Amino acid sequence: MPIADQIALLIEMQKLDSQIFKLKKELDGQPVLLAELEEGFKSKGVALKQKEDESKSLLVGKKQKEGDLQAKEDGIKKLQTQLYQVKTNKEYQAIEKEIASQRADISVIEEDILKMFDQIDVCAAEINKQKEILNQQRKTMDADKEKINSRTRELAASLEKLNTDRAALAQKVDKGVLAKYDRIINSKDGLAMVSVMGDACGACNINLPPQVINEIRLKQELIHCGSCARILYINEDDPGNAGDK
Ligand SMILES: [Zn+2]
């Protein structure tokens, strides 16, 4: 097959490959998007975790206070039995004074416990609120995930179609020419076929000598850019290149 026809096929293949590279890049980025969503959601659970920890330590503290309260009440009962056994008025008064002091301690502890009940209630309300917020955020995340997954399926289907088209086209191109093209496209970020822009390579912008431009026009062999090694062609649809071939 004449080189001119090969170049025409390669230009078609470049159109497919440009799409393939673009879609593949997006497809490769999908798992990253999913991971970012998960990570963002995880950080939103921190407030709930804090409140749950606070609630736990409040409950532990309350239990401790209730233990103290019980101990004080037992102590008073013991003192009250002692009251019946004392011999002197002085001893009686001393025990009564001790009982009064224990009762004062008890009312302080009881107040503390009441305060803790309030704090626990406030904490529980805050936990419920955070759970609701988190639930809402989970729904949002699930919806976003579904969008990403659906885009992933879309990309995979498009790529499959493009790859099928590419394989059909590849069969028509000479093996040696195709190998050169493939080597460039894989090493040059998905761009192997470049049109001449003015007198320069359309990819790397280096100026091309008139002799090279003439060789490109002749289409008797593949002409590579001396700087970026891509395959050069003249875009006949470009008004700047039409009419003077
Ligand atoms: Zn170049």
pLDDT in tens, 186-241: 999 999 999 999 999 999 999 999 999 999 999 999 999 999 999 999 988 766 65
pLDDT (0 to 100) of residue 236: 80
- Tokens at residue 38, please? 């998960």
Stretch 126-143: mean pLDDT:
95
Residue 183 Cα to ligand 1 midpoint, Å, equals 15
Residue 158 Cα to ligand 1 midpoint, Å, equals 30
Looking at the predicted structure, is the pLDDT value of residue 242 above 60?
no
pLDDT digits (tens, 9 = 90+) for 74-102: 999 999 999 999 999 999 999 999 999 99
pLDDT (0 to 100) of residue 48: 93
pLDDT (0 to 100) of residue 240: 61
pLDDT (0 to 100) of residue 245: 38
Percent helix, strand, coil in the chain, to 5, is 75, 5, 20
Residue 118 Cα to ligand 1 midpoint, Å, equals 75
The reported pTM is: 0.75
Half-sphere exposure of residue 173: CA atoms within 13 angstroms, side-chain side:
23
In angstroms, the CA 25 to CA 57 distance is 49
pLDDT (0 to 100) of residue 1: 87
CA 223 vs CA 33, 183, 201: distances in Å: 41, 15, 11
CA 59 vs CA 62, 112, 195: distances in Å: 5, 13, 75
Residue 207 Cα to ligand 1 midpoint, Å, equals 9
Asked if residue 148 lies in contact with residue 34, where contact means CB atoms within 8 angstroms, the answer is: yes
Determine the residue type at 157: A
Asked if residue 132 lies in contact with residue 3, where contact means CB atoms within 8 angstroms, the answer is: no
Report the percentage of the chain scoring pLDDT > 90: 93
pLDDT (0 to 100) of residue 237: 75
Residue 193 Cα to ligand 1 midpoint, Å, equals 10
Nearest to 180 by CA among 188, 84, 239: 188
In angstroms, the CA 94 to CA 133 distance is 59
pLDDT digits (tens, 9 = 90+) for 44-85: 899 899 999 999 999 999 999 999 999 999 999 999 999 999
pLDDT (0 to 100) of residue 106: 97
Helices and strands of the chain, counted as H and E runs: 5, 3
Stretch 157-184: mean pLDDT:
97
Residue 202 Cα to ligand 1 midpoint, Å, equals 7
